[in-house]
Structure 1
Amino acid sequence: MLSLLIIYPGVTYVQALTAPGAATFAARTADWARQMGAGPVVNAVENWYYTRHPPANSAPNANAVPVPVGSTAPAGDLANAPAPLLTLPGGLHGEGAWAPGARTAGGQPADYTTFLRPDPAHTSVVAAVVAFDQKWTGLHLIAGTKEPGGHWPEGAQVPDALRPSLLATFNSGFKFRDTPGGFYADGQAGIPLKNGMASLVIDKSGVADVALWGRDARLTPDVAAVRQNLELVVDGGRPVPGLSGNPAGQWGSAKNQFQFTWRSGVGVDAQGRLIYVAGDQLTLTALASALSTAGAVRGMELDIHGGMVSANLFRPDIAGSSPKTLTPDMPTAPDRYLSADQRDFFAVTARAGALHAPTAAGG
């Protein structure tokens, strides 16, 4: 019996470290510890570490600011760009101003990037923002090798058929043992959907919405995919009450809302654009503030911590261009999700015929 108690943890740890799919050593170790029943210990360590390393009240690091991908030439008419964002007093160069991304055949950008500083007490904190114009883009939910579990047709990576029109990939939400929400895709429920959960809902045309399940959206024949995670953090265009208290654990384990850590979130604005936000040293309140400032009328938190937050931008309209992480300091590979990954994720593609014909870099 004693030998089993010694051998079993070692065997399961090796299995965790060698399981297929992309995941960092730290993430695999933390997941293994939680699997072994040490979740409260892991949470306590994370709370201790991330709450004791507050960001500075100073200018941000340049590597926290998005860099336009590919060509820096104008990308056509910007009349359909989102309105410039409100910024803190003494706004930085480029803060709140949208940079165009991939060009459509008509010269309109399909996506835009900018940044803002959502924490007035810690002005070094930056939230990077991407806005996807859903007239030109479609969203896809792709299951990973471990999350949500089961068998799925995409092979836990961006399918070959989507790659020529791929505009972006970004992370999904918490592991399902850490959220009561569900997962639906490819005509099957990997995890049952639950009323009251924040939900990223994709219809069969690829248009996405962020909804409170049971109030704003239900499972109808037009729904192609649903990813639920925690509860809404923005509703009616404003951060919801109670974020700093997290009284019933609606937004993860107790006190994780205070952690200065990598966080990501997604929302939709009043014009139907899909808004993705990510940054380091964001508290939950700062993330919600970033989403609402970026125009989200409803928004939800996705995943948190370094190695979990991953957003990559592509320029299929520029021949030979390479993907880039949303910000230079994002600690993940720009080609993540082009090979099998343990976690479910989202891929954004251009609609059929929407893209500008590929041009040489710089053109």
Structure 2
Amino acid sequence: MIYPAVTYVQALTAPGAATFTARTADWARQMGAGPVVNALENWYYTRHPPRNSAPDANAVPVVPGTRAGDTTNAPAPLPTLPGVLAGEGAWLAGARMAGGQPADYTTFLRPDPDHTSVVAAVVAFERKWTGLHLIAGTKEPGGHWPEGAQVPDALRSSLLATFNSGFKFRDTPGGFYADGQTGIPLKNGMASLVIDKSGVANVALWGRDAQLTPDTAAVRQNLELIVDGGRPVPGLSGNPAGQWGSAKNQFQFTWRSGLGVDAQGKLLYVAGDQLTLTALANALSTAGAVRGMELDIHGGMVSASLFRPDLAGSAPTTLTPDMPTAADRYLSADQRDFFAVTARSGALRGPSAAAR
């Protein structure tokens, strides 16, 4: 009993933020109980289907510092299910740049016609105004990285958003590259978030749409694409070869997140509770993604926050009020790798100008 006891204490006290439940599940998998944990998750999440009714108000995203109906220079509204809800599919403008143009837009949609209470929040980041950063955690992917597993001080004054990355690397065959070093070898055929040295992000099939070049700043791989050519890929409901995680997890009604890129190059982050894998793919494609990938799943793993550096004294907010994570999660060291979105140098409108 000594070895399990010691390793459990180590798991509970390891550096970096992580919930008690996540630390316990990770320890159980380390002890070889991964199939048991997966079976328990499948049993629980597949037996708690969502309602076929109106969504909870706390599932709808809140944009800090933005009045309802502010759709300044927003993209066209998204398609919606019959019986459209107030604000559904309409983009709310976020942080303003020096010329008054928004750097990001937020909306929500219902991607599951059989469970109309399910909401997917969507954030679109304009590539002209924003840059993306991949930051390693204290445990994922392992090794030594310069950012200290948190948003660096140099980025905080221009920080627009933070959000979670993908699965733990023992649960995905994909790789990790950042800061000029390979944490986990990159693999062809994997869904990949690729960032160039100017901060422009792309979702790609590695080896087909992208490869490592001198201009590559970071790559985070996770499973296989779930949207390609603007449509959900075949096989999501069957997961025949385990391309999207353990068997049956695609049926779980749980927190899920994903990333996509649209035809204009905007980066799309999608997250919501009680999403199946098919519903997540539907949300990404409805939002306009031409390629999309799943990120992490389950409560406490899906974590996204919005910031308003253009508004003096504003505090970060979680993307939706019911998101079970702290809004400032990635401002201190975290065990998991994550993404940070910042305004490009010189593009951000100052708080004093925003107040006028």
Q: TM-score range by the shorter chain?
A: over 0.9
SS in structure 2 opposite 1:275? Answer: strand
Query: In the alignment, is residue 169 of structure 1 matched against residue 162 of structure 2?
Result: yes
Residues 1:78 and 2:62 aligned together:
no
Letter in 1 for 2:322: D
Match of 2:272 among 279, 297, 300: 279
Amino acid paired to 2:235 = G
Task: Give the TM-score of the pair, scaled to structure 1.
Answer: 0.96
Q: Is the 8 A contact 1:268 1:299 kept in 2?
A: yes
Find out whether 1:48 has 2:43 as its counterpart: yes
Q: State the AA in 2 paired with 1:188.
A: Q
Instruction: For residues 79-112 of structure 1, give each alpha carbon's deviation from its aligned partner in whole angstroms, at most 9, with x where no partner exists.
Output: 3x22210000011000000000000001100000
Secondary structure of the corresponding residue to residue 305 of structure 2: strand
Which residue in 2 is equivalent to 1:318? 311
- Counterpart code for 1:78: T
Identify the residue that residue 189 of structure 1 maps to in structure 2: 182
Cα deviation 1:321-341 (Å, max 9, x = unaligned) = 000000000000000100000
Alignment match, 1:358: 351
Q: Does 1:13 align with 2:8?
A: yes
2:37 is aligned with what amino acid? Answer: V
User: Partner of 2:331: helix, strand, or coil?
Assistant: coil
1:231 aligns with: 224
Gaps of 5+ in 2: none
Q: How does 1:255-270 map to 2 (within 5 A)?
A: 255-270=248-263
**Secondary structure of the equivalent of 1:227?**
strand
Structure 2 counterpart SS, 1:307: coil
- Aligned position for 2:64: 69
Any idea what SS the aligned residue of 2:26 has?
A: helix
Given that residues 92 and 106 in structure 2 are in contact (C-alpha distance below 8 angstroms), is that contact kept between their aligned partners in structure 1? yes
Distance 1:24 1:351 in 2: 33
Tell me how far apart the structure 2 counterparts of residues 139 and 274 of structure 1 sit (CA, whole Å).
9
In 2, Cα distance between equivalents of 1:359 and 1:316: 11
- Determine the structure 2 residue equivalent to 1:292: 285
8 Å Cα contact 1:102/1:315 also seen in 2: yes
Shift of 1:78: 3.0
Cα contact 1:234–1:288 (8 A) shared by 2: yes
For 2:296, give the aligned amino acid: D
CA RMSD of aligned residues (A): 1.3
Report if the CA contact (8 A) 1:71-1:362 is conserved. no
Give the TM-score normalised by structure 2: 0.98
Could you tell me which residue of structure 2 aligns to residue 98 of structure 1? 91
| Alpha-carbon distance between aligned partners in 1 of 2:221 and 2:272, rounded to the nearest angstrom | 21
**What is the alpha-carbon distance in structure 2 between the residues aligned to residue 360 and residue 11 of structure 1?**
55
CA shift for structure 1 position 362: 7.2
How much does 1:361 deviate?
A: 8.3
Contact 2:263 2:289 (C-alpha < 8 Å) held by counterparts: yes
Is 2:61 aligned against 1:60?
A: no
* 1:143 matches 2:145: no
Aligned residue identity for 1:72: R
1:73–1:362 contact (8 Å) kept in structure 2: no
Q: Partners in 2 of 1:74 and 1:278 — Cα distance?
A: 21
Amino acid at match of 1:58: S
Compute the displacement of 1:74 (Å).
Answer: 8.1
- Does 2:21 correspond to 1:26? yes
**Within 1, Cα distance between the matches of 2:171 and 2:205?**
18
> How far off is 1:72 after superposition?
2.4
Asked if the contact 2:66–2:92 (Cα under 8 Å) also holds between the matched residues in 1, the reply is: no
SS at match of 2:18: coil
Output the CA distance in 2 between the equivalents of 1:272 and 1:198. Answer: 17
- The alpha-carbon distance between structure 1 residues 71 and 83, as it changes in their structure 2 partners (threshold 3 A), is closer
Once residues 360 and 18 of structure 1 are traced to their aligned partners in structure 2, the CA distance between those partners, rounded to angstroms, is 45
The 1:152/1:284 distance shift into structure 2, 3 A limit, reads same
Other structure's SS at 1:115 match? strand
Partner residue, 1:178: 171
SS across alignment from 1:337: helix
Asked whether the equivalents of residues 63 and 306 of structure 2 are also in contact (C-alpha less than 8 Å), the reply is no
Q: How many residues align?
A: 356
